[in-house]
Structure 1
Amino acid sequence: MGVIDTKTWLKEYGEKPIKVCEQLKSYFKKMSAKEIYDLLSINGMYRPSIFNRNHQLEPFLEMDYWKVVQKYYTKLRKTWNGPDVPIFIFPVNERQQQIMNEFNGKSGLAFPDKLFLFLKSRVDEREIMALLTHEYHHVCRLKYVSKNERDVTLLDTILLEGLAEQAVRKYCGSQYNASWTAYYTDDELQTFYNEFMKPNKSLRISDEQYFDLLYGLKRYPKMLGYCVGFYIVDQCIRKHNLPFSKMEQLSSEEILNYFLS
């Protein structure tokens, strides 16, 4: 499958993203275009209230993101022997401060059978490669540890993010890691694990504290779950010399046991 021609959809329906999402209904079971758009917009897709064809869409369409992503996707899929999934590229919501500040104007959303990339109007090709590496690694990881959404734990999620960002380090270089990977020292991260993650690692997505811990909201350190997940994976690689290709196939509990041993 690979990259889908969303450029044509944007040219025709750009100011009406729900109309764009009509084109996605065959990829989502039993979801309306409005429900699909609500899901995607929460994760970074542009919003019509701030959308401007001249200032955002036209510069976005001028960038050949589709060709760049297809090139790197073909390479990654061959390297990882990963699933063949459709990839959808859309403009990002440039008013969403966390995306602009923490993720440098790019975001993504991965499923076991598809992935989405949300990009600002100007993104360096290597940064696109880093985002695709992160998100496509999610797709590959979900192949090994697929669970019903209601059964996914906070530990599952932070390790999913930690592994994906370690993939970026391995295949793109540490200079393309997200800024949050350098927020804290190892000593701080160990303390965060003991104090915040250890007692809450089995929380489900329906639990009130789940997203507060994952993103470091309210009283918690910024990007807490992401940072601790990256730290756990990094420690497993350093302490046990675990091959990355092996670790990405281990269960969350197996990875945690390596970290604690």
Structure 2
Amino acid sequence: MALIQTNKWMERYIQYGKNQANRELYLKLFISPLQALFSYPSDGELANYLNRNGMFTPDDIEDVKMIIEQDYWSYANEHFLYLKKRWNGPNVPVYLLLASKKKARELANVGGKMGLSFADGIVLFIQSDIERFDLLALLTHEYHHVCRLTHTNEKENTITFLESIIMEGLAELGVQEELGERYCAPWTELYKETWKKIWEERFITERLMQTGRKNYKDILYGHSKKNIPPMLGYYYGYLLCTRAAERLQTNTQELLTTPAEKIYKWGLGEEKRV
């Protein structure tokens, strides 16, 4: 299926919304079609969830006009087909949508863009002026998640903290390999020169097997009130995966189906591949 032509949805929104914020039309065009991925009780509840995660709102109609003038859908689709062949991945729909300006500060930690991945589809939120390779980096990261989920069959309420950070690390390693380190997310550089071993002991080690993504969001994204550094879990996962790949002289494609526990031990240097 690849890239769904959500630019056509946006054109209809502008045409029939008559340049005014129109929540009913917004729900019909952008939210209802996504229920196949999310299965929320109502379109309104799904809209609230997506808005919290960075999707534009009916008030962002001027930015909608700007994004549909771009050729994002064409080259994103070309890149998706390339990745699908390279990683022998599944054919899933990819929904490319506008990110909300109101979430710009929150999205800054992830490069001004956001994605939601499932075994059967991807939703991407981007700013209207995103650079081409930044979009391709986001798509690479999220599609890598889809490929790994195809093998692990993990769910939001069952996935361990360890699997979550390894999944994030491998996906960003994939970005590095396909597009170059320049296009990796900002969080991959956060503690490059300031990493503290004590963070592992204080925040990470005892929670590695905790299940349910919502139960360890504090360590994944950081928590100022708990003195947990921003994006700590993401960074640690990337650190482990890059170390493992270097020690084994391999890449994210080979590690795609490797259990998280093995990558963790290789990343720590505690186990050799036989």
The TM-score normalised by the length of structure 1 is: 0.90
Encode CA deviations 1:193-225: one digit per residue, 9 max, x unaligned: 2331111112223665x1110001121011100
Deviation at 1:66, TM superposition (A): 1.1
CA distance in 2, matches of 1:199, 1:132: 32
Of 236, 242, 245 in structure 2, the residue corresponding to residue 234 of structure 1 is 242
Which of 83, 88, 96 is matched with 1:89 structurally? 96
Structure 2 vs 1, CA of residues 236 and 226 (structure 1 numbering), >3 Å: closer, same or farther? same
Q: Per the alignment, do residues 32 and 78 of structure 1 end up closer, same or farther by CA in structure 2, a change over 3 Å counting?
A: same
C-alpha separation between the residues in 2 aligned to 1:114 and 1:96?
23
Structure 1 position 167, deviation (Å): 0.4
Identify the residue that residue 130 of structure 2 maps to in structure 1.
123
Give the Cα–Cα distance (whole angstroms) in 2 for the partners of residues 149 and 129 of structure 1. 25
1:91 deviates by 0.5
Q: Which of 221, 226, 232 is residue 229 of structure 2 equivalent to?
A: 221
Contact 2:159 2:213 in 1 (8 A): no
Matched, 1:195 2:202: yes
Corresponding residue for residue 54 of structure 2: 44
Q: Which stretch shifts more, 69-78 or 195-204?
A: 195-204
User: Which shifted more, 116-125 or 94-103?
Assistant: 94-103
| Closer, same or farther: CA 24–183 of 1 in aligned 2, 3 Å | closer
Q: Which moved more, 1:133-142 or 1:90-99?
A: 90-99
CA distance in 2, matches of 1:250, 1:57: 41
CA spacing shift, 1:105–1:206, aligned 2, 3 Å: closer
Structure 1: gaps spanning 5 or more residues: none
CA distance in 2, matches of 1:158, 1:178: 14
- 1:11 matched to 2:11: yes
Q: How does 1:1-261 map to 2 (within 5 A)?
A: 1-13=1-13, 15=21, 16=23, 17-19=26-28, 20-29=30-39, 31-48=41-58, 51-54=59-62, 56-185=63-192, 188=195, 190-205=197-212, 208=215, 210-218=216-224, 219-260=227-268, 261=270
RMSD: 2.0
Alpha carbons 1:99, 1:107 under 8 Å: kept = no
Give the TM-score, by structure 2 length: 0.86
